[in-house]
Structure formats: structure tokens, C-alpha cells
Amino acid sequence: TRLSLFLWCSLPDKTLLELASAGRLKDHEILRKQVNRMLADPRSTRFTKHFVGQWLRMQPLEYLNPTRGENGMDEALLESMKQEPIALFADMLRHDSSVLDFIDADYAVVNARLAKHYGIPGVQGNDFRRVPLSAERNRGGLLTQAGLLTMNSDGEESHPVKRGVWLLTNLLNDPPPPPPPAVPEIDLSDPEIAKLTLKERIEDHRDHAACLSCHQKIDPWGIAFENYDAMGRWRDQIDGKMVDATSVLPNKASLDGMKGLKEHLIQDRQEQFVRATVEKMASFALGRQIDFGDHAEIKDITKQVRKSGNGVKTMVVCLVTSELFQTK
């Protein structure tokens, strides 16, 4: 039942019930075959949709209203934005691609509407498909997907703080502390503040003692996204000024925009990212939060995934054959 709720979000079928009754699901080889069978079944689309939505906290996208105004948002683009993370996950699951492709990849999984939004030529139709990206790409992975960038903006401007919190919370499982009460707002009525760039306003805001402890952890991550506007489109300038997306993390590591952010995550946070992804998937599979008593088993599953090449389908198999999934 747990296996079926995990991969089909539904009750088990006759095959699973018969194997369970005979005690054969305790055999890891049989369990692997069942995982492959279940993921090949159309019912597994529920897993990709619900897990990705929960993992990436995509609910804000459901509240966006498409308009044909200045930002160029329309119903087709909004729907494509909602589907892109799910389509990427499904494609990676099918190919057992490395989970590190969620950070950066030399391909995108898009349809014609998204390809137009991104400036990727030669993509036709509404169906999502894997499209190779050029060497000078500014796409690839989750961090540059328009829907995730849009839901972490305010509709008109990019929002480095939202984007930084989202990255830390959902991809690295390292959420910042909640803000203290009575935190001062950025005062845009002040003409000196209003003429600053967004990055300069954030730096000014961070100078307040009440804001420093949280923002020094959040802001450098979010500033790295600044080449992407409120709808996830690439930009080199804002109001005639070149975008400055460089930042320095609390550990003194320098990030040179999105390229630098991806390099840092791959080189220095790879283990943390894989473990965080394992933990998010385990929480979905078990239908509960992971607690302190689960950490040793999460670490063991992560180690198995790493040894086996970091594949997404491999992660599913390592999870369902683990003691954590079978006994807790």
C-alpha cells in the first residue's frame, strides 16, 4: 500500500496485492521490477505531478492571473510554466538522469510556448520534449525555469529575498530563520532609496541591525538570480544599468551570477543537494515529515544513490528498498 501510494498516489493493484500476500515484496529484486513496472504505468504521472508540486512548493503559481499586458503573460505561457518542472522531472526519471541535472543541464524540457519565451529556436507544438542548449545558454535545470522564477517575484520586479529563501528551503533543505517582528520595510518614498538599484536597496536594508542576521544568509543567493526578470526572462540591463548579479556568501565564496551559483552548488554543495532531495522524496513517500531519528537512514540512502551515479530512478529504488521505507 505504501509503495502504491508513493508511485501511483492510489491503492495497490492485483499484482502488488498478490506479491505482498506471498511475502515476495521483501525480495529487493522483485521490488525493483515492480518499481520499473509502476513507473512505466500511466498512473505514475500522479507521482511526478504531486511530488514535484510539494517538493518545489509550486502553489503560488496557481494564484497567478494571466494577462496580455506589459509582461506578456497569457494562459498558454502560464500553463507551460506550471508544467515545465513536472516535465523535466518525468524526463529525468525516464532516463534515470543524474539529480545534478536539476541544478544545471545542457538541455531543457520545453514546448513551443516556453521555447519562444526563452528565445530557443526550432521548437514546435504543445508537447514537452528534451531540447539541447547551446554553450552560451542561460537555461538548464530548475533554477532558471520561468515558472519558479515568476512565483518568486512580486509580479513587477524580481525578488532576490524570495528567490534566496526558496533555494535554501527547497533545494538545500537549509531554511533561514523567520524574520524578527517589526522588521522595517524598504522605504521607496525616500528619493535616495528609490534611485538605487535593487541590489543596492537590499544592501542598504541589510545595514539595519535587525535585518543583518537573516539577510546576510539569504541575499547573496537571491542576488545571483538578478539576470532574470519577474517572468524569468534573461536581461543584461535594468533601467539602462548593467545587471550586477555578483555576490559573496557568508563563507566568503563568491558567486558570479547564475553561472557562478550553479558552479558553486555542483562543486561545493553537491552532497548537501543530493541528501536534501532524498529527504524531500522520503517525506513524500512516507507521508510525513522526516525527523531526527530518520537521519542515519537518510544518510545511508544518500550514500547508495551517490555510489550508483545519482540517478533519479535509482533514488526511487534505493528509497523503496531501504529499511526506512519498509519498516517506519
Q: By the 8 A CB rule, do 290 and 283 touch?
A: yes
Going 263 to 60 to 234 to 109, the CA torsion angle's sign is positive
pLDDT at 265: 98
Distance in angstroms (rounded) separating the CA atoms of residues 106 and 277: 21
Q: By the 8 A CB rule, do 279 and 288 touch?
A: no
pLDDT at 135: 77
- pTM: predicted TM-score of the whole model, two decimal places: 0.90
| Per-residue CA distances from 253 to 104, 125, 249, 261 (Å) | 19, 42, 5, 10
pLDDT tops 90 at residue 256: yes
Q: What does the block give as the cell for 299?
A: 544518510
pLDDT in tens, 183-202: 555 544 445 444 556 655 55
Name the region of 304 (left: φ>0; alpha: ψ -120 to 50; beta: rest).
alpha
Percent pLDDT > 70 in the chain is: 87
Distance in angstroms (rounded) separating the CA atoms of residues 251 and 171: 19
pLDDT at 216: 79
pLDDT at 73: 84
| Per-residue CA distances from 178 to 181, 198, 258 (Å) | 9, 22, 25
* Confidence at 269, pLDDT banded by 50, 70, 90: very high
Residue 22's identity, in one-letter code, is A
Return the H-helix or E-strand segment holding 123: none
- Residue that is written with C-alpha cell 553537491 in the block: 270
Cα dihedral 293→299→305→311 (10° resolution): 70
Distance in angstroms (rounded) separating the CA atoms of residues 88 and 30: 28
For residue 96, which of 151, 163, 32, 155 has the smallest C-alpha distance? 32
Cα dihedral 67→69→71→74 (10° resolution): 30
pLDDT in tens, 157-185: 899 999 999 999 999 999 988 766 655 55
Helix (H, G, I), strand (E, B) or coil at 158: strand
Expressed in percent and rounded to 5, the helix, strand and coil fractions of the chain are: 55, 5, 35
Q: Are strands 254-256 and 246-248 parallel, antiparallel or unpaired?
A: antiparallel
Q: Torsions phi, psi of 63, nearest 5?
A: -100, 0
| Per-residue CA distances from 131 to 82, 109, 127, 258, 283 (Å) | 18, 6, 12, 20, 31
pLDDT at 193: 47
* Confidence at 112, pLDDT banded by 50, 70, 90: very high
pLDDT in tens, 223-246: 999 999 999 999 999 988 999 999
Q: Compare 146 and 198 and report the one with higher pLDDT.
A: 146
pLDDT at 208: 54
Return the H-helix or E-strand segment holding 258: helix 257-268
Q: Which has the minimum average pLDDT: 37-41, 114-118, 131-135, 256-260?
A: 131-135
pLDDT at 264: 98
